[in-house]
């Protein structure tokens, strides 16, 4: 996949460092990468062999805000990347103006936000406030939005009106390659017993739990499910489970619920909206790893990826199944390995998450 990255410079702050790390890892994996920079000061930065770098001339400082979008449009039309990724607000706005506002181009565009825009207003100059004003109105036109954290994602949904289905939380590559911990490979159990706990209502999406069970079964993994809770969807869920031929137990409300499912391998929280998710903490305390949707946002404070569970990037049964298979390898009942948490912030994992977002954008029929 030919990936274009737009960033003011490859030298400087955190976002610039992210651009370098992504570029290096993408090239290491064999992806063609083209980098566009437009900052006036462009120190030479060593990148992997084969990386194409195009820098805008330092001339025309006064007209630069107008020149950058035009220059990007011409370069991207010429280079024909499969997808464009931008870093920092001005890059985001310039690319949106070039590719999605004025004579829109079909190339997918993912803008990235690495800060809390509403709080950042107090820290920037007047000219930069115009950029943030435009960003608030244009981000929703992007094919997708990458955010550095769930709080940033929450602000983009509420204040920027970016649809949640277009947002992907991609952790920064903070841990350098030589600092990455060696995590021993583990294999999932021969049989999985998954549980869901909560009211059987639309917000909790219990039908997705059945889809996850079916996905794992179709992968050849013996899987059973236990539903702890009750609600208006109980009868329809029983009929659907029977239709799919799934082995699912409906045990109603139990207090405490964890005593009734002591043999469970993983708790699956399928809600699309959560302010926190008490059951995620309860599951961790009971030694049961859990999986929740990254797009539920509030769950980020209740689950530690790689330690107490995993986050599914998108809401598909396949993404949940992948997260379950990672979560069941965690050993909460013995020793919690913090290296698994550090692994989430490695260059390799960050880039893998980025690629998953790019592929989801490229393959989606909804966006």
Comparing 190-199, 249-258, 262-271, 277-286, the range with the smallest average pLDDT is 277-286
Residue 203 has pLDDT above 90, yes or no: no
Instruction: Establish if 186 belongs to a structural domain.
Output: no
Same domain membership, residue 232 and residue 110: no
Provide the 3-class DSSP secondary structure of residue 2: coil
Q: pLDDT tens, 127-148?
A: 788 888 999 999 999 999 999 8
Instruction: Establish if 67 belongs to a structural domain.
Output: yes
Same domain membership, residue 314 and residue 196: yes
Instruction: Establish if 116 belongs to a structural domain.
Output: yes
* Ordered strands of the 52-55 beta sheet: 52-55, 33-37, 3-6, 83-87, 109-113, 144-147, 167-169
Q: What is the predicted pLDDT for the residue at 58? A: 66
Same domain membership, residue 39 and residue 155: yes
Residue 93's domain spans which residues? 3-179+350-363
Are 296 and 272 a contacting pair, CB within 8 Å?
Answer: yes
Same domain membership, residue 20 and residue 118: yes
Instruction: Establish if 333 belongs to a structural domain.
Output: yes
Q: Total domain count for the chain? A: 2
What is the rounded CA–CA span in Å between residue 14 and residue 261? 44
CA angle 304, 325, 351 (to 5 degrees): 65
Give me the mean pLDDT over the 290-305 stretch.
89
Instruction: Establish if 77 belongs to a structural domain.
Output: yes
Q: pLDDT tens, 298-351?
A: 888 888 888 889 999 999 999 999 999 999 988 765 555 556 655 776 889 889
Same domain membership, residue 270 and residue 239: yes
* Ordered strands of the 248-250 beta sheet: 248-250, 222-228, 191-197, 266-269, 290-293, 309-312
Same domain membership, residue 206 and residue 65: no
User: Quick one: what percent of the chain has pLDDT higher than 70?
Assistant: 88
Per the DSSP assignment, residues forming a β-bridge with 36 are 6, 54
Q: What is the predicted pLDDT for the residue at 116? A: 80
Same domain membership, residue 265 and residue 166: no
Same domain membership, residue 208 and residue 161: no
Q: Write the CATH number for 236.
A: 3.40.50.2000
Q: What is the predicted pLDDT for the residue at 340? A: 66
Residue 125's Cβ-side half-sphere holds a number of Cα atoms within 13 Å equal to: 1
Instruction: Establish if 184 belongs to a structural domain.
Output: no
Same domain membership, residue 297 and residue 246: yes
Q: pLDDT tens, 228-258?
A: 999 999 999 999 999 999 999 999 988 889 9
Residue 270 has pLDDT above 50, yes or no: yes
Comparing 75-89, 155-169, 276-290, 353-367, the range with the smallest average pLDDT is 353-367
Q: What is the predicted pLDDT for the residue at 64? A: 77
Instruction: Establish if 323 belongs to a structural domain.
Output: yes
Give me the mean pLDDT over the 190-215 stretch.
94
Assign 193 a pLDDT band (cuts: 50, 70, 90). Answer: very high
Q: What is the predicted pLDDT for the residue at 71? A: 93
Assign 180 a pLDDT band (cuts: 50, 70, 90). Answer: very low
Residue 80 has pLDDT above 70, yes or no: yes
Instruction: Establish if 103 belongs to a structural domain.
Output: yes
Q: What is the predicted pLDDT for the residue at 188? A: 60
Same domain membership, residue 141 and residue 32: yes
Q: What is the predicted pLDDT for the residue at 9? A: 87
Residue 183 has pLDDT above 50, yes or no: no
Same domain membership, residue 206 and residue 166: no
Q: Between these two residues, 75 and 277, which has the higher pLDDT value? A: 75
Same domain membership, residue 203 and residue 145: no
DSSP codes of every residue in 171-215: ----B-GGG----------SEEEEEEES--SGGG-HHHHHHHHHH
């Amino acid at each position: 996949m030919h990936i274009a990255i737009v960033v003011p410079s490859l030298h400087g702050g955190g976002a610039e460092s992210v651009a370098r790390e992504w570029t290096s890892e993408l090239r290491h994996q064999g992806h063609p990468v083209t980098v566009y920079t437009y900052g006036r000061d462009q120190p030479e930065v060593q990148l992997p062999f084969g990386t194409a770098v195009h820098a805008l001339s330092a001339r025309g400082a006064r007209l630069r805000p107008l020149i950058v979008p035009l220059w990007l449009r011409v370069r991207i039309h010429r280079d024909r990347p499969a997808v464009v990724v931008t870093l920092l607000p001005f890059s985001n706005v310039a690319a949106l103006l070039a590719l999605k506002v004025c004579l829109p181009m079909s190339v997918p565009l993912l803008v990235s936000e690495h800060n809390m825009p509403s709080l950042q207003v107090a820290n920037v100059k007047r000219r930069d406030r115009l950029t943030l004003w435009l960003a608030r109105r244009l981000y929703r036109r992007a094919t997708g939005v990458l955010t550095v954290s769930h709080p940033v994602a929450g602000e983009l949904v509420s204040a920027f009106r970016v649809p949640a289905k277009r947002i992907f939380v991609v952790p920064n590559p903070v841990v350098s390659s030589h600092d990455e911990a060696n995590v021993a490979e583990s294999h999932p159990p021969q049989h999985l017993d998954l549980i869901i706990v909560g009211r059987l209502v639309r917000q909790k999406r219990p039908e997705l739990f059945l889809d996850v069970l079916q996905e794992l079964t179709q992968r050849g993994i013996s899987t059973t499910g236990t539903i702890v809770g009750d609600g208006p969807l109980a009868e329809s869920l029983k009929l659907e489970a029977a239709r799919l031929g799934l082995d699912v137990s409906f045990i109603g409300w139990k207090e405490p619920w964890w005593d009734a499912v002591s043999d469970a391998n993983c708790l699956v929280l399928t809600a699309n909206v959560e302010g926190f998710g008490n059951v995620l903490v309860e599951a961790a305390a009971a030694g049961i790893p859990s999986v929740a949707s990254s797009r539920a946002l509030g769950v980020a404070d209740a689950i530690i990826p790689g330690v107490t569970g995993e986050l599914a990037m998108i809401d598909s049964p396949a993404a949940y199944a992948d997260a379950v298979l990672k979560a069941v390898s965690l050993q909460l009942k013995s020793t919690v390995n913090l290296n698994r948490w550090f692994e989430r912030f490695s260059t390799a994992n960050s880039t893998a998450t980025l690629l998953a977002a790019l592929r989801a954008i490229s393959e989606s029929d909804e966006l």
